[in-house]
Structure 1
Amino acid sequence: MTASFAVVTVTYSSGDYLHNFLRTLTAASSQTAQVIIADNGSTDGAPEQAEAAYDNVTLVRTGGNIGYGGAVNRGVAEVDDDVEFIVVANPDVEWSAGAIDELLDAARRWPRAASLGPLITEPDGSVYPSARRVPDLVSGTGHAVLGAVWKSNPWTAAYRDDDADLTERPVGWLSGSCLLLRRAAFDNIGGFDSRYFMFMEDVDLGDRLGKSGWLNVFVPTSSVMHAKSHSVSKHPEKMIPAHHASAYRFNADRHPGPLRAPLRLALRAGLAVRSKIAVAAALREQRRESGQA
């Protein structure tokens, strides 16, 4: 019998992260699911090793580094048509026992839920704010400008939904690092927007699902651990500008037309300045840590 879900992950020289992902996945559900690895050009041999080691793993080469959302879409296209749910997760996720089964149970409780996300913890055990409100220009700008220097500012708190309890509930959007997606809803809105190379594709997905009448549901009885953006810490000069470009695209798409052109111009200029400052700070921190080592 075909499992009710399939798993799609995107790799880019993910190394041991992918090994731990697949090792812990076996305990995440009582079902053995089809696993699609959409590879964006790895050079470490990890995807090939995974396909050889697991009978249920299929490696799909995307043809280059086409970004996260585009690669997920490519992976989903390989999933059998009769599979009802797609689990999309980063390869640096480690699964808790029963994590996927908990999400599947919640999906049956919430028939209008298009995406369901677990509680996500950091390697140190702290809870990552993975269930958030969709940002507007005010809260998004306040978070972008003050989030790094004044972590308790009201705009960051509102965006991260910091005051909310860890209860099962609908939210604005869920972290794309681990999602259970209802295939019909995902296909209905055209999947991830592949114009987002990295970052904000999950915010955009959650927002479009919500505007289409679906729900995004946070399910804290399911949990995973996320090593969190190892590529970002290694390559801030590439990842930070990509993040800011995605932030511009998200807001520009929601403020179209000639009358809002000055707003988009100001937004582009402000994000460009912030990106340069953030890259410089990250590279200084890298040099400092390297000197201490």
Structure 2
Amino acid sequence: MVGARPRPVDGGGGPTAGVAGRAGPWFTVVAVNDSAAPIGIVTVTYSPGEYLTRFLDSVPGATDRGAVVVMADNGSTDGAPEAAEAKYSFAELLHTGGNIGYGAGMDRGIDTLRARRAAGEIDDEFVVIVNPDVVFHPGAVDELIAAAERHPRAGAVGPLIHEVDGSVYPSARAVPTLVSGIGHALLGKVWKDNPFSRRYRDDADMTRERTSGWLSGSCQLLRWDAFDAIGGFDERYFMYMEDMDLGDRLARSGRENIFTPAAEITHAQGHSASAHPEITVPAHHESAYRFQADRLDARWQAPVRWVLWAGLKVRCAVALWSAQRALRTGQAERN
């Protein structure tokens, strides 16, 4: 930990975490102390509702450094991001211009922080990406930074993720091969403990700090230079697997993806995705194809890509029918 946790400044409409003042639509950032500038945090919002308030309430306790939170908004209609910008003096709203996807939204938010990084107003080594339905446990961001400092080759560091029911989410996973990916896709629902899914989840030990193939994009600490070296997120991924792709490209560039249980968050995942299977199910399968096809790009592998594409189309149709049926059944039971 660096220094003492700053005392919230009264009058800002909420916790300030060591950030004070406004200059037009932007903030004037005041570092907590001379040795540690505030950490930049980016979240992508799309009508996040009350989850955004819980997330922002947890930010001041997550780090002693102070923070600047950019909300890259992909077209919210619930007014939550606007209300949050008015309430929290360390949060600012960036309209991306539409629902451009998770990775593209993160890239826009990170780009917004670059001028502040160059001016020394925020930490120039690390930036945090996080979902707006996450709640940081006390000291979580500082623990992520400490882990990154223990691992100089780390390009990304991820925390232990608790589900809302208290279970631990397997957030540090192996990068799937074509065979393990197909096995997991075919057997994961009907045989939970099949060898392909076990290899993919790579969750046998969530109690120690270790290297992983990739980390959940719900919360990561990134090294700026490592992120920039691989060109940020691949914006062809609208949603799903952009984090897997990022982690794999970091590893291919010589960086490490480090999981640390010393940092903890709670994630209310899936609360909106399950309500819109007509969007999420096709997006998931399109991302699955893109990830494997990019890594099977030789001309002689074209037949493999064709079979993969056809198989995923069939699986997508079945999964979408099943999800919509479950949604209709749930609505009928509530009525």
TM superposition score normalised by structure 1: 0.98
Find out whether 1:121 has 2:155 as its counterpart. no
* Larger relative contact order, structure 1 or 2 (CA cutoff 8 Å, min sep 6): 1
Distance in 2 separating the partners of 1:287 and 1:68: 27
Distance in 1 separating the partners of 2:80 and 2:136: 19
- TM-aligned CA deviation for residue 93 of structure 1: 0.4
- TM-aligned CA deviation for residue 165 of structure 1: 4.4
Q: How does 1:64-83 map to 2 (within 5 A)?
A: 64-79=98-113, 80-81=116-117, 82=120, 83=124
Find out whether 1:231 has 2:266 as its counterpart. no
Distance in 2 separating the partners of 1:229 and 1:185: 29
Query: Which of 317, 322, 326 is the aligned partner of 1:276?
Result: 317
CA deviation map 1:184-206 (0-9, x unaligned):
10011110100000000000000
The amino acid of 1:202's aligned partner reads D
- TM-aligned CA deviation for residue 95 of structure 1: 1.0
Partner of 1:31: 65
Distance in 2 separating the partners of 1:134 and 1:281: 27
Find out whether 1:62 has 2:96 as its counterpart. yes
Distance in 2 separating the partners of 1:87 and 1:111: 17
CA contact (8 A) 1:4 1:85 kept: no
Distance in 2 separating the partners of 1:133 and 1:268: 22
> Any idea what SS the aligned residue of 1:148 has?
coil
Partner of 2:26: none
Partner of 2:172: 131
- TM-aligned CA deviation for residue 230 of structure 1: 2.0
- TM-aligned CA deviation for residue 5 of structure 1: 2.0
CA contact (8 A) 1:38 1:59 kept: yes
Q: How does 1:1-293 map to 2 (within 5 A)?
A: 1=31, 3-79=37-113, 80-81=116-117, 82=120, 83-293=124-334
- TM-aligned CA deviation for residue 162 of structure 1: 3.0
> Any idea what SS the aligned residue of 2:78 has?
coil
- TM-aligned CA deviation for residue 290 of structure 1: 1.3
Q: Where do 5+ consecutive residues of structure 1 fail to align? A: none
> Any idea what SS the aligned residue of 1:86 has?
strand
Distance in 2 separating the partners of 1:252 and 1:164: 30
- TM-aligned CA deviation for residue 4 of structure 1: 4.9
Distance in 1 separating the partners of 2:275 and 2:37: 37
Bigger shift: 3-12 or 97-106? Answer: 3-12
Distance in 2 separating the partners of 1:61 and 1:165: 37
> Any idea what SS the aligned residue of 1:78 has?
helix
Bigger shift: 227-236 or 111-120? Answer: 227-236
The amino acid of 1:78's aligned partner reads T
CA-atom RMSD in angstroms = 1.0
> Any idea what SS the aligned residue of 2:263 has?
strand
- TM-aligned CA deviation for residue 177 of structure 1: 0.4
Distance 1:158 1:248, change over 3 A: same
CA contact (8 A) 1:5 1:84 kept: no
CA contact (8 A) 1:9 1:89 kept: yes
Q: Where do 5+ consecutive residues of structure 2 fail to align? A: 1-30
Distance in 1 separating the partners of 2:39 and 2:221: 9
Distance in 2 separating the partners of 1:185 and 1:21: 26
The amino acid of 1:108's aligned partner reads E
Distance in 1 separating the partners of 2:298 and 2:155: 30
CA contact (8 A) 2:59 2:67 kept: no
CA deviation map 1:92-132 (0-9, x unaligned):
00110111111011111111101000000110000100000
> Any idea what SS the aligned residue of 2:272 has?
helix
CA deviation map 1:169-190 (0-9, x unaligned):
1110000000000111001111
Indicate the structure (1 or 2) with the bigger Cα radius of gyration. Answer: 2
> Any idea what SS the aligned residue of 1:27 has?
helix
Distance in 2 separating the partners of 1:175 and 1:92: 14
- TM-aligned CA deviation for residue 151 of structure 1: 0.5
Q: Any runs of at least 4 consecutive aligned residues in structure 1 with deviations exceeding 4 A, and if so which? A: none
